[in-house]
Structure 1
Amino acid sequence: MEDSGGRTEEVVVVGAGPGGLAVAAALRDRGVQALVVDRAEQVGESWRNHYDRLHLHTPRGWSHLPGYRIPRRFGRWVARADVVRYLEEYARHHRVRLRLGTAVTRVERLDATDRGARWVVHLADGTDVRARHVVIATGYNHTPVEPTWPGLDGFTGELVLARDYRSGRPWAGRDVLVVGTGNTGTEIATDLAEQGATRVWLAVRTPPHILSRTRFGVPAQATGIAVRRLPPKVVDRVAGVLAAVQEPDLTEHGMPRAGRDLYSRVLEGRIPVQDVGVVGAIRSGRVEPVAAVEAMDGADVVLSDGTRLTPDAVVVATGYRAGLEPLVGHLGVLGERGLPTTHGAEPAAGAPGLWFTGFTNPISGMLRELAIDAEKIARAVTRTT
């Protein structure tokens, strides 16, 4: 349901993705009608723009948001398009108040409260919304990290950012280099191979940890939940021992083994790769691991080992950043890598009434943690209202 705004709000939520919708639903369950604002014309815009092959890496039963479970008809591993349908149903079910098609440009403190309002939310259409509480839920993966390789401006091949990739069909019969060995890069490489690309190279700077999505019928998420609160060094030690039997050995196919740092990487925002086909594609030769990209030279890509490749296209999947600086960077609430110094039930330091959700990349599953954070934020907000 759309809302035209024009009044002081108890809570403004910035972002109509899973995190923002979950907070609004949890607040509504406690009698607070939040206003959710998003630059997109529809809820779940980031999920609408992911590649077609994508499914949740966490099972349906552990991925629902507060107050409305993912329908069984969507299967155990929910497809991208069905995640979008779920978010649409979720917003309708909870009658979330939405103001869509208008970006938030900046959030600022009010010098003096106006009927309890502590914040002013500036919108791209020139209007402002005042609020007692503001929840930022624009997402961990908001702004793509764009490459800066020497010679990039003169590269004569096609350059595609992962956010713009939908399917490998347009590259059937062509050679493609994928840069980035996270879940996105490895899955795009697999999709390209399955869709008929002649050669698919996967540039590897840091060998990834690769885990099966399930082991003996148990989802990998179960392990992530179990170790979520353990000391990183303990988890790294145990994971290092188990890697010999749980992680595939692809060294003879050009992919070195990962180090004994699985959980330490998670704390840096780099979760393990879940195998949804890449291991088989590498073993069969349909995806070929190669060295990291160092530079571009006309039609060639120069790798760190001196090898030159001449791909028809390069797909860049080197990650994202939160992109929060224009929104709240002036408030002193961001820390390392431009991420909030607090999240969930803990308000921003020195900024009462400002909350963040969805700015971690947990091993226990993003949607699960968004649901937990939503309930915590709703409880904290209603305690201070």
Structure 2
Amino acid sequence: MFSDVTIVGAGAAGLAVAAQLKRHGVDSVVLERGDAVGASWRGRYDRLRLHTTRRLSALPGLAMPREFGRWVRRDDLVSYLQAYAEKFDLDVRTGTTVERVESASDGGWSLHLAGGATHRTRTLVIAIGYLHTPLIPDWPGRESWNGQLIHSSQYRNAEPFRGKDVLVVGPGNSGAEIASDLAEGGAASVSLAVRTPPHIVRRTVAGWPAQMNGLLLGGLPERIFDPVAAGLARVEIPDLRPYGLSRPIVGLKTRLRTSRYVPLQDVGIVADIQQRRVKPVAAVQSFTLDSVELADGTSLRPDAVVAATGYTTGLGELFDDATLFDSDGLPVAHAGVPARPGLYFIGYDVTLGGMLRQIRIEAQRVAQHVARSSHHGQPADRGL
């Protein structure tokens, strides 16, 4: 098989690039390992809503319907991505897993697919995202523990955990929402293991979304942004130290730069902690046969552990060239800049303005680069 331009991943980033390429008169093939577009979103927990507003989360060329509301539900986003692929008549080939990528002798790329087939392409866009491969730390004793251990990507709702003691590990957005979901859904007790205290922001204050603060203030240098963000947090978020959750020490923008961190948007976790429905505890240190040992020397005996401990990009398993990636496995060159001639990575830039908004920007950049290099560029269609 051969295509002039191939995109790997039919999530928001891959679909947006494909649509923007069409705007420039360039056709592409989108390869997706799942059985439908937006497969990664389809597998997220039931109560998930975007933390970015509907208007600032739409992909280029198609607004999200007003009936989705301000904070878009998971299922509505999936419907939107399906409608997006149909509107622009994108060539999406589902059930196609790319196992290895190699540079070809003619300057293009060879994609080795599951099942033994090879797909050749002149230009390759990798859009599988940084939330690709679930990561559970290799805690000592983990394999011998007799309780239930799942990654947050496997969590759907609280029903299987009704009446159980559950430990959620990781106070990011997923971990906090899952903890609240468990507390509301009938778990006997919910603990939240915290290694580094999170930066917590209200999703809205007097109708003003936190995303807009990120957009308006995100350009400030760390020496100004960090104290401003800390001041806002002290005003908006109650002191949770009496409940076991300290305020962060490292500034928000500094943390974003050094670890791609985004703040925890409060959609219930603050009240759950204050009302002791969710109990913050120290970080997980190790497991024994029947307990979880924490960093402060205490231990818990939960029935189940939900590890909201992040993901790896999976890119190191795709490419032989380690110089493409930094020590965290992220592309050194991305966000519209070619990593190699004919090779682009999209969807790996974390900003305070929102992931989907950033994808919109990057998709336009990548499409312009590819169109120029392919000599197929046409006058921009301002209607898209």
- TM, length-normalised to structure 1: 0.94
Runs of 4+ in 1 over 4 A off after TM superposition: none
Q: Give 1:354's aligned amino acid.
A: L
Structure 1 residue 329: deviation in Å? 4.2
Q: Find the residue that maps to 2:246 and give its secondary structure.
A: coil
1:363 is aligned to 2:362: no
Is 1:82 the equivalent of 2:71? no
Q: 1:260 to 1:153 in 2, by over 3 A?
A: closer
CA deviations on 1:248-281 (whole Å, 9 max, x unpaired) are: 3111111111124111222212110000110110
Coordinate RMSD, CA, aligned: 1.3
What is the CA–CA distance in structure 2 between the aligned matches of 1:336 and 1:69, rounded to whole Å?
37
Question: Are 1:202 and 2:196 matched, yes or no?
Answer: no
TM-score when scaled to structure 2?
A: 0.94
Letter in 2 for 1:18: A
Q: From 315, 321, 324, give the equivalent of 2:306.
A: 315
Shift of 1:69: 1.1
Deviation at 1:331, TM superposition (A): 5.8
Cα distance in 1 for residues equivalent to 2:284 and 2:291: 11
Matched, 1:346 2:337: yes
CA contact (8 A) 2:200 2:233 kept: no
* 1:158 corresponds to 2:148: yes
> Is the CA contact (8 Å cut-off) linking 1:209 and 1:247 kept in structure 2?
no
Q: Could you tell me how far apart the structure 1 residues matched to 2:274 and 2:200 are?
A: 14
Do the aligned partners of 2:335 and 2:348 also contact (CA within 8 Å) in 1?
A: no
Offset at 1:57? 0.3
Measure, in 1, the Cα distance between the counterparts of 2:127 and 2:336. Answer: 13
Q: Contact 2:148–2:304 (CA<8 Å) still a contact in 1?
A: yes
Report if aligned partners of 2:130, 2:347 keep a CA contact under 8 Å in 1. yes
1:144 aligns to what? Answer: 134
1:372 partnered with 2:358 = no
> Where in structure 2 are the equivalents of 1:93-242 lying within 5 Å?
93-113=87-107, 118-242=108-232
Partner of 2:380: none
Note the C-alpha offset of 1:233. Answer: 3.2
Q: Deviations over 1:6-45 (max 9, x none)?
A: 3x32210000000000000110111111100011111101
Assess, with a 3 A threshold, how the Cα gap between structure 1 residues 331 and 292 changes in structure 2: closer, same or farther.
Answer: closer
Distance 1:54 1:285 in 2: 23
Equivalent residues of 1:157, 1:313 under 8 A apart: yes
**Following TM superposition, by how much is the alpha carbon of 1:241 offset from its aligned partner in structure 2, in angstroms?**
2.9
Where does residue 251 of structure 1 map in the other structure? Answer: 241
Contact 1:209 1:273 in 2 (8 A): yes
Post-superposition offset of 1:325 = 0.6
Unaligned runs of 5+ in 1: 1-5
> What SS is found at the alignment partner of 1:11?
strand
The answer as to whether partners of 2:135 and 2:151 remain within 8 angstroms in 1 is no
Question: Shift in Å at residue 246 of structure 1?
Answer: 2.7
**In 2, distance between residues paired with 1:278 and 1:296?**
26
In the alignment, the residues of structure 2 paired with residue 107 and residue 153 of structure 1 have an alpha-carbon distance, to the nearest angstrom, of 33
Distance 1:204 1:15 in 2: 32
Counterpart-to-counterpart distance in 2, 1:147 and 1:260: 23
Whether 1:300 aligns to 2:291 is yes
**Count of matched residue pairs:** 373
Q: Percent identity?
A: 49
Within the alignment, does 1:57 sit opposite 2:33 as a pair? Answer: no
* Residue range with higher mean Cα deviation, 241-250 or 140-149: 241-250
State the Cα deviation string for residues 330-378 of structure 1 (Å, max 9, x = none).
2621113010011122100xx2110010112221100000011001111
Extract unaligned runs of 5+ from structure 2. 375-384
